[in-house]
Amino acid sequence: MLDMLKNVFSNLSKKPVTRMYPFEERKPFDINRGHLENNIDECIFCGMCQRVCPSNCISVDRKTSVWEYNPFECVLCGVCVEKCPKKCLKLDVHYRSCTDKKYNIHLEKHDDSEKAGA
């Protein structure tokens, strides 16, 4: 019993080990897999990410220059990031925010030469 009281009093004098989460956030680790991002300006729409994705959450249309991604089907394995020849895909360390609706991320590459000629 006395051993327990000694432990209780020592813990009362120390700083708490837990964080007050909404007010004090922990810095994410460097190897954290948060969410997938694509730099669409560097993408060549080769479709390699679509072919190697184990959950089939990525779809690439080369003709229309459209890259689409379903974040709710992605398992964040990082295979697409490793296989991308242009290294335009990356896994960000921050998680995506919570939502009550599902959505797809739809990215299109607009050719600047078409805009200049129009």
Residues 89-114 have pLDDT tens digits of 999 998 888 889 999 999 998 876 44
Q: Using one digit for the tens of pLDDT, what is the confidence trace for 66-85?
A: 999 999 999 999 999 999 99
User: What percent of the chain is modeled with pLDDT above 70?
Assistant: 94
Higher-pLDDT residue of 56, 34: 56
Please report whether residue 108 resides in a domain.
Answer: no
Please report whether residue 57 resides in a domain.
Answer: yes
CATH code of the domain covering residue 57: 3.30.70.20
**CA 36 to CA 61: how far, in whole Å?**
18
Please report whether residue 3 resides in a domain.
Answer: no
Q: Per the confidence metrics, is the pTM higher than 0.75?
A: no
Domain coverage including residue 77: 43-95
Q: How many angstroms separate the first and last alpha carbons of the chain?
A: 84
Please report whether residue 60 resides in a domain.
Answer: yes
Name every residue whose Cβ is closer than 8 Å to that of residue 37 and which is 6 or more positions away in sequence: 89, 90, 91, 92
For residue 90, the model assigns a pLDDT of 93
Please report whether residue 24 resides in a domain.
Answer: no
How many structural domains does the chain have?
1
Please report whether residue 72 resides in a domain.
Answer: yes
User: What percent of the chain is modeled with pLDDT above 90?
Assistant: 56
